[in-house]
């Protein structure tokens, strides 16, 4: 009897927890469908009496959201491809080759993980500002400032190296005896055997890039470059009182990732918890 | 690392010695140019005056002198410490509680985990926007709930009074300034920040709990240990490495809080009365706002780095020494 009652208490708390995690999402949806009269109600209503679906197209066209999405997809897509290539190649070198300076190089890479983004964002700005080949302000306010510095990711290298080291050493010998060179070995043996690890890297990189805020906030000035999070933040500060439009914009900006999460939650949870989180 | 032959068979031939460097080059180029160079030059920049991208005169330690003399810096530092002191126990405590309840054969475990993790996947920008609305004084959900229970509405994000002062004021106690605690506005941000990260920590704790072998529990039960006894003598000590990891990681992330401050507080950001300005916002404001000085902001960055480095080294030291049981 006692354990049954205790079980009820546990379930009650778990349900209360679930509600407190879901409620803000419901509130976002609820508010996003309210018209001006309902938004002014105090206390606020729990569901929109007269759903105003026009909030969505209105918000979508109020500022260039299509452009922000396009920018985000372009930036996140390039970074995912870049990170997979650079981490795959360097992890391959770290795990299957012997050379002088290997450990030193690897440890140097690892040590950069101790330095968080706000620490180097100022000096990165100065560096990017002074690089040739961009616009008036160097690479600032240019896609290259959003993409190029993020094309390599130390933790992905670490993760892939861990995975590569789990391969039996005989695999290399067998491949070499069969006349396989390093490039073919990488592409026809190592990578096909690393699909799970590569998926982890891709998901993590994509999600973190999609959600990153401080870096693009600092490195962009114009609408044509701005990714979705910065666009959304500016929209929020400009339309501070239009709660319906703001919440509609919040909904469609989180929708792509939440839909992806719905289909691949197990992989996404694993990917994010294995590789760490960014603010 | 497993022992391999002195030279990998992949490295035979004319190109052998250069081969690994070719594979390494793309990553090394990016990491050295865009990570290591900025990290190293951050220290250098803090000895100069720099307005936006342009570095001007050498000023020695003047930025640091100015920084340590600025009361706004100390206020931001104090706010950051309150933020860390509030969000770490809140986030870690709640996640541990949820993980304990979720472990072993609870029905719908997968569903709960999915729901708790939902905010982690959601951008901080969208999360902050909806919570700002929830804490809205007139049309917000928080106040309407308070009023249903017969309370008065609170000013939430525009309340600059410290929460200890708020709590004790009705008893006629007037606390000295230093003991007033974080402003209610900052507490709102602490709640939101913890809310977003709990799912992440729950998953880490669940993994940690799974690593505790079942026979420890069986032995404890046979010895007649109660529920609390089992937690006190089995779960808690064996979970120490996980708890320690979660605490330090949450601390490091909390010291860097920016997005919810930027999106929920003010206008002006950091308000009311500067009670929600944290160290990274202070850095951002000094470096990138009109008339900003990037040399000065770099000095702030170095102070932040010193704090986080100390935490990281402390973590390493403790992990090496203590928290291994298995």
Task: Report the CATH number at residue A239.
Answer: 1.10.3720.10
Q: Say yes or no for a CB contact (<8 Å) between A247 and B129.
A: yes
Interface of A with B in 75-134 (CB under 8 A): 85-87, 89-90, 92-94, 96-99, 102, 105, 108-109, 112, 114-130
Give the domain-ending residue among B8, B29, B64.
Answer: B64
CA distances (Å), A233 to each of A28, A68, A229, in order?
Answer: 15, 12, 6
Give the CA diameter of chain B. 85
Q: Say yes or no for a CB contact (<8 Å) between A254 and B123.
A: yes
CA distances (Å), B196 to each of A206, B123, B148, in order?
Answer: 19, 9, 26
Please choose, from the candidates B94, B46, B50, B88, the residue with its C-alpha nearest in 3D space to the C-alpha of residue B66: B46
Residues B252 and B272 grouped into a single domain: yes
Query: Is residue A52 assigned to a domain?
Result: no
Q: Say yes or no for a CB contact (<8 Å) between B101 and A93.
A: no
Count of domains observed in chain B: 2
- What pLDDT, in 10s, does the model give residues B18-36? 888 999 999 999 999 999 9
Q: Say yes or no for a CB contact (<8 Å) between A97 and B10.
A: yes
Please choose, from the candidates A233, A122, A241, the residue with its C-alpha nearest in 3D space to the C-alpha of residue B269: A233
Question: Between A and B, how many CB-CB pairs are < 8 A?
Answer: 301
Please choose, from the candidates A59, A57, A48, A42, the residue with its C-alpha nearest in 3D space to the C-alpha of residue A26: A48
Query: Is residue B4 assigned to a domain?
Result: no
Interface of A with B in 237-276 (CB under 8 A): 237, 243, 246-247, 250, 253-254, 257-258, 261, 265, 268-269, 272-273, 276
Query: Is residue A62 assigned to a domain?
Result: no
Query: Is residue A9 assigned to a domain?
Result: no
Please choose, from the candidates A105, A93, A80, A107, the residue with its C-alpha nearest in 3D space to the C-alpha of residue A161: A93
Residues B28 and B84 grouped into a single domain: no
Give the CA diameter of chain A. 77
> How far is the C-alpha of B120 from the C-alpha of B146, rounded, in Å?
27
Mean pLDDT of B179-208: 94
Q: If you write DSSP's letter for every residue of A205-241 in order, what string do you get?
A: HHHHHHH--HHHHHH--STTT--HHHHHHHHHHHSTT
Query: Is residue B160 assigned to a domain?
Result: yes
User: Minimal Cα–Cα distance from B39 to chain A, Å?
Assistant: 5
Residues B52 and B171 grouped into a single domain: no
What ipTM describes this predicted complex? 0.92
Query: Is residue A59 assigned to a domain?
Result: no
Q: Which residues in chain A are contacts of B126 at CB distance < 8 A?
A: 28, 232, 250, 253-254
Residues B29 and B137 grouped into a single domain: no
The whole domain housing A216 covers: 77-274
CB A197 within 8 A of CB A42: no
Residue B32: Cβ within 10 Å count: 15
Residues B264 and B130 grouped into a single domain: yes
Residues B289 and B218 grouped into a single domain: yes
In this prediction the pTM is: 0.92
Q: Look at residue B66 and tell me whether its pLDDT is greater than 80.
A: yes
Task: Identify which of B38, B129, B288 has the shortest CB distance to residue A218.
Answer: B288
Q: Counting Cβ atoms within 10 Å, is residue B247 exposed (0-12), middle (13-18) or buried (19+)? A: middle
Specify which residues B162 forms β-bridges with. Answer: B183
- Mean pLDDT estimate for chain B: 88
Query: Is residue A49 assigned to a domain?
Result: no
Q: Look at residue A1 and tell me whether its pLDDT is greater than 50.
A: no
- What pLDDT, in 10s, does the model give residues B91-123? 999 999 999 988 766 778 889 999 999 999 999
> How far is the C-alpha of B262 from the C-alpha of B270, rounded, in Å?
7
Supply the pLDDT for residue A98. Answer: 85
Q: Which residues in chain A are contacts of B114 at CB distance < 8 A?
A: 265, 269
Closest-CA residue in chain B for A98? B7
**Given pLDDT bands bounded at 50, 70 and 90, which one contains residue B3?**
very low
Query: Is residue B1 assigned to a domain?
Result: no
Residues B31 and B160 grouped into a single domain: no
Query: Is residue A108 assigned to a domain?
Result: yes
Q: Is A165 helix (H, G, I), strand (E, B) or coil?
A: helix
- What pLDDT, in 10s, does the model give residues A192-247? 999 999 999 999 999 999 999 999 999 999 999 999 999 999 999 887 789 999 99
Residues B315 and B226 grouped into a single domain: yes
State the Cα torsion B59-B61-B64-B70 to the nearest 10°.
-60
Count of domains observed in chain A: 1
Q: Look at residue B2 and tell me whether its pLDDT is greater than 50.
A: no
Query: Is residue A18 assigned to a domain?
Result: no
> How far is the C-alpha of B154 from the C-alpha of A231, rounded, in Å?
31
Query: Is residue B8 assigned to a domain?
Result: no
Q: Counting Cβ atoms within 10 Å, is residue B37 exposed (0-12), middle (13-18) or buried (19+)? A: middle
Residues B35 and B120 grouped into a single domain: no
Size of chain A in residues: 279
User: What letter does residue B54 receive in the DSSP assignment?
Assistant: E
Structure tokens that stand for B111 in this block: 């569903």
Residues B38 and B104 grouped into a single domain: no
Mutation target for A interface from B13, B121, B319: give the one with most A CBs within 10 A: B121
Interface of A with B in 18-77 (CB under 8 A): 18, 20-25, 27-28, 31, 39-44
CB B198 within 8 A of CB B115: no
Query: Is residue A118 assigned to a domain?
Result: yes
Q: Say yes or no for a CB contact (<8 Å) between B27 and A90.
A: yes
- What pLDDT, in 10s, does the model give residues A258-270? 999 998 888 888 8
Mean pLDDT of A119-143: 90
- What pLDDT, in 10s, does the model give residues B257-303? 999 999 999 788 988 999 999 999 999 999 988 677 999 999 999 99
User: Minimal Cα–Cα distance from B66 to chain A, Å?
Assistant: 18
List, in order, residues 6 or more apart from B213 with CB less than 8 Å away.
none
Give the domain-ending residue among B24, B48, B64.
Answer: B64
The whole domain housing B104 covers: 70-321
Structure tokens that stand for A159 in this block: 């993760």
Residues B41 and B121 grouped into a single domain: no
Query: Is residue B9 assigned to a domain?
Result: no
Residues B46 and B84 grouped into a single domain: no
């Amino acid at each position: 009897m006692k354990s049954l009652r205790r079980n009820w208490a546990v379930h009650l708390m778990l349900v209360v927890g679930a509600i407190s995690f879901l409620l803000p999402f419901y509130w976002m949806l609820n508010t996003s469908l309210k018209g001006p009269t309902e938004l002014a109600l105090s206390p606020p209503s729990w569901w929109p009496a007269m759903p105003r679906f026009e909030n969505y197209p209105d918000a979508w066209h109020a500022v260039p959201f299509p452009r922000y999405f396009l920018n985000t997809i372009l930036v996140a897509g390039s970074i995912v491809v870049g990170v997979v290539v650079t981490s795959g190649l360097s992890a391959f070198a770290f795990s299957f080759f012997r050379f002088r300076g290997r450990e030193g190089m690897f440890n140097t890479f690892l040590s950069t993980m101790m330095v968080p983004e706000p620490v180097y964002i100022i000096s990165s700005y100065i560096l990017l500002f002074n690089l040739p080949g961009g616009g008036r302000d160097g690479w600032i306010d240019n896609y290259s400032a959003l993409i190029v510095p993020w094309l390599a990711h130390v933790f992905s290298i670490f993760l892939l190296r861990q995975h590569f080291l789990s391969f039996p050493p005989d695999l290399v010998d067998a491949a070499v005896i069969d006349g396989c060179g390093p490039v073919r070995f990488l592409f026809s043996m190592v990578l096909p055997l690393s699909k799970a690890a590569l998926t982890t890297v891709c998901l993590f990189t994509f999600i973190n890039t999609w959600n990153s805020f401080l870096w693009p906030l600092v490195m962009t000035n114009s609408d044509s470059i701005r990714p979705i999070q910065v666009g959304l933040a500016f929209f929020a500060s400009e339309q501070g009182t239009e709660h319906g439009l703001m919440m509609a914009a919040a909904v469609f900006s989180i929708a792509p990732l939440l839909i992806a999460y719905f289909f691949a939650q197990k992989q996404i949870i694993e990917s994010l918890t294995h590789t760490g989180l960014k603010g | 690392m497993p022992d391999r032959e002195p030279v990998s068979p992949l490295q035979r031939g004319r190109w052998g010695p250069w081969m690994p460097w070719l594979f390494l080059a793309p990553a090394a180029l990016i990491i050295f140019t865009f990570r290591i160079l900025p990290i190293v030059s951050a220290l250098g920049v803090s000895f100069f005056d720099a307005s936006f991208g342009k570095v001007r005169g050498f000023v020695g330690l003047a930025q640091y002198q100015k920084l340590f003399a600025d009361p706004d810096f100390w206020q931001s530092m104090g706010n950051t410490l309150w933020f860390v002191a509030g969000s770490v126990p809140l986030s870690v405590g709640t996640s541990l509680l949820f993980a304990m309840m979720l472990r072993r054969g609870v029905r719908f475990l997968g569903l709960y985990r999915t729901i708790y993790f939902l905010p982690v996947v959601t951008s901080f920008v969208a999360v902050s926007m909806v919570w700002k609305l929830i804490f809205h004084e007139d049309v917000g959900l928080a106040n309407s709930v308070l009023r249903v229970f017969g309370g008065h509405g609170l000013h939430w994000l525009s309340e600059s009074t410290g929460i200890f002062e708020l709590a004790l004021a009705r008893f006629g106690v007037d606390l000295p300034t230093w003991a007033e605690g974080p402003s209610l506005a900052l507490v709102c941000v602490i709640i939101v920040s913890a809310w977003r990260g709990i799912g992440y920590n729950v998953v880490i704790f669940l993994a940690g709990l799974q690593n505790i072998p079942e026979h420890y529990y069986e032995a404890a039960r046979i010895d007649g240990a109660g529920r609390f006894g089992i937690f006190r003598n089995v779960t808690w000590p064996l979970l120490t490495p996980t708890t320690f990891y979660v605490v330090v990681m949450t601390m490091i992330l909390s010291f860097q809080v920016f997005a919810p401050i930027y999106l929920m507080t003010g206008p002006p950001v950091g308000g009311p009365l500067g009670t929600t300005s944290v160290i990274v916002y202070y850095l951002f404001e000094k470096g990138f706002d009109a008339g900003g000085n990037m040399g000065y902001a770099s000095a702030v960055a170095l102070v932040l780095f010193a704090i986080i480095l100390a935490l990281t080294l402390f973590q390493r030291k403790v992990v090496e020494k203590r928290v291994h049981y298995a």
